[in-house]
Amino acid sequence: MLELAAGFICLTSLLTYVNYRFIGLPPTIGVMVTALMFSLLLQGLSFLGYPGLEDRVQQLIGQIDFGDLLMNWMLSFLLFAGALHVNLADLKSYRWPIGLLATFGVLIATTVIGALAYWIFALFGWHVSPLYCLLFGALISPTDPIAVLGVLRTANASKPLKTTIVGESLFNDGTAVVVFTVLLGIAQLGETPTVGETALLFVHEAVGGVLFGGLIGYAVYLMIKSIEQYQIEVMLTLALVIGGSAMASELHVSGPIAMVVAGLIIGNLGRNLAMNDMTRRYMDGFWELLDDMLNALLFALIGMELLLLPFSWQHLIAASLLAVAILLSRFVTVAPAILLLRRWRKVPHGTIRILTWGGLRGGVSVALALALPTGPERDLLLSITYIVVLLSILFQGLTIGKLVNAVTRAPQTKEPAEH
């Protein structure tokens, strides 16, 4: 285990250095691009008759349980770190668009993407059941908070727009995981739960996650408030994430949602009422460093997964068509929510365009795809999901900043169909 961690951390550090020194892409995207280039280089060497290094790296990556690592550990740290810097007052101001997009938006996207996926798969002669198409819709529908937060750091987005994007991406994971869990249970058991059972599962996972996150977040806030020792205060937040994630799993509530709520409490109540300037400085420095390191590890791992998955030109074409379908479903979910919101309050110029294009997919989707039952449908959906995630991060991730800057510089004129 130590050898595995050491090898992967060394490799990720090297890729991060190469990106910063020679390529200069945004950190998360740059690390993934360099990992992809490294994977392609290894495959090229193998093709030329030097398979040893590729085999060794494949063995290294193959030992990592990506789904468990991301969903049960890394995601909790990354969501807590992201929520730590979100202003709760801003979040409350835009609770309606965030709530609509993070709940009904995910449900609508799951249905639309599932229907389009069934049609696209049929075009290629792949017999994928409607249920598995809906599973694909559920796992690919949430925007990835890790990818979104990494890109928004360099984008010149307005506060309302940034708050909406970040708030939605932090919360829609919980909805997507609940929907995915229900559909996966149907696929494995062959039984369709009643509406009441489905609602109960949602309440237990999502609402339970909110309550549990609020409880442990407030408890740690009180502990931080009672002392003036920054080392212990930082350690308490670390224990909150590690212990809270493990307890959430035992209680069968949403760990990601719990960590978002706990992060909001520590980042607002804790920061304003319980920390002195020195504690704030060390707290921010610790979690920013941990956030950057885990992001680098995660996106390097996504890039290296190329060595383990089977691909074909048909997969690439189908995934490209699905990437367009996902953007269409994103527009279908975003536009009504924002147009409805315009009846009661001013909406920043270009919001629909930016929210549509800014809905990046990332590691959460890959992790959910890895949770599918073993079989031919899993292999197909995993390969398609991986390609869609790569296309999303590369094309949308590298251009969303330019779109934001272009929209913010454009004249603030009222458009008939979009704002």
pLDDT in the model for residue 75: 82
pLDDT tens string 108-154: 999 999 999 999 999 999 999 999 999 999 999 988 766 666 666 66
Kindly list the structural domains of the chain, giving each domain's residue range(s) and its CATH number in brackets, ordered by start.
Answer: 66-409 (1.20.1530.20)
pLDDT in the model for residue 413: 47
Task: Note down pLDDT in tens along the chain; length 419 residues.
Answer: 677 778 778 888 998 899 899 988 877 788 888 888 888 888 787 777 777 777 777 777 778 777 777 777 788 898 898 889 888 888 888 888 888 888 889 999 999 999 999 999 999 999 999 999 999 999 999 887 666 666 666 666 777 777 888 888 888 877 888 788 888 878 877 666 677 777 787 788 888 999 999 999 999 999 999 999 999 999 999 999 999 999 998 998 888 889 999 999 999 999 999 999 999 999 999 998 898 888 788 878 877 777 777 778 999 999 999 999 999 999 999 998 888 878 777 777 788 998 899 888 887 888 888 888 878 888 899 889 989 999 998 898 888 888 888 887 765 544 444 44
Amino acid identity, position 400: I
pLDDT in the model for residue 149: 65
pLDDT in the model for residue 145: 64
pLDDT in the model for residue 154: 64
What is the Cα 241 distance to its own chain's centre? Answer: 17
If we measure between CA atoms, which residue out of 238, 246, 241 comes closest to residue 262? 241
pLDDT in the model for residue 416: 42
pTM: 0.84
